[in-house]
Amino acid sequence: MSKLTAVTSQLHTIADYCRYGATLFNQAELFYGHGSDNAFNDAYILVMYALSLPNETDDSIMSCRLIETEKLDILSLFTRRIEEQIPVAYITNVAYFAQLPFYVDERVLIPRSPIGELIETKFSPYIDQNNPPKRILDLCTGSGCIAIACASYFDESEVDAVDLSIDALNVAQINIENHGLCEQVIPIQSDIFSGVEGQSYDLIVSNPPYVDQQDIDSLPQEYHHEPEMGLGCGEDGLDIVRVILAESATHLNDDGLLFCEVGNSEVHVRALYPNVPFTWIEFERGGHGVFMLTKAQLIEFSSVFIAALKHDAIS
* One domain for residues 175 and 282: yes
Residue 280 scores a pLDDT above 90? yes
In the prediction, which pLDDT does 227 show?
82
* One domain for residues 195 and 60: no
Under the banding of pLDDT at 50, 70 and 90, the label for residue 4 is low
Percent of the chain at pLDDT > 70 equals 97
Q: In total, how many domains does the chain have? A: 2
Bridge pairing between strands 185-189 and 94-97: unpaired
* One domain for residues 138 and 87: no
Rama region for 35: left / alpha / beta (φ>0; ψ in -120 to 50; rest): left
* One domain for residues 27 and 51: yes
pLDDT digits (tens, 9 = 90+) for 27-51: 999 999 888 889 999 999 999 999 9
Q: What is the pTM of this model?
A: 0.93
* One domain for residues 210 and 103: yes
DSSP structure string for 266-302 = HHHHHHH-TTS--EEPP-TTS---EEEEEHHHHHHTH
Residue 312 scores a pLDDT above 90? no
In the prediction, which pLDDT does 12 show?
95
pLDDT digits (tens, 9 = 90+) for 140-188: 999 999 999 999 999 999 999 999 999 999 999 999 999 999 999 999 9
Q: What per-residue string of b and e applies to 95-124 under the rule 16 or more CB within 10 Å gives b? A: bebbebebbbeebbbbbbbbbbbbbbebbe
- Mean pLDDT value of segment 262-267: 92
Q: 92, 124, 159 — which closes off a domain?
A: 92
Q: What per-residue string of b and e applies to 6-33 under the rule 16 or more CB within 10 Å gives b? A: ebbeebeebbbbbbbbbebbeeeebebe
* One domain for residues 27 and 176: no
In the prediction, which pLDDT does 1 show?
38
In the prediction, which pLDDT does 174 show?
98
* One domain for residues 150 and 233: yes
The CA distance from 296 to 68, in Å, is 64
Q: 92, 111, 138 — which closes off a domain?
A: 92
- The sign of the CA dihedral 34, 35, 41, 46 is negative
- The sign of the CA dihedral 291, 297, 298, 302 is negative
Residue 2 scores a pLDDT above 70? no
- Which DSSP category does 232 fall into? B
* One domain for residues 64 and 190: no
* One domain for residues 120 and 200: yes
* One domain for residues 163 and 264: yes
Under the banding of pLDDT at 50, 70 and 90, the label for residue 299 is very high
Pick from 49-63, 76-90, 220-234 the range whose average pLDDT is largest.
76-90
CB distance 201 to 188 below 8 Å: no
Q: 36, 61, 92 — which closes off a domain?
A: 92
pLDDT digits (tens, 9 = 90+) for 210-260: 777 887 777 888 888 888 777 777 778 899 999 999 999 999 999 999 999
In the prediction, which pLDDT does 314 show?
54
> What CATH number did the domain enclosing 109 receive?
3.40.50.150
* One domain for residues 165 and 56: no
Range of the domain at 67: 3-92
The CA distance from 98 to 274, in Å, is 32
Residue 113 scores a pLDDT above 90? yes
* One domain for residues 244 and 157: yes
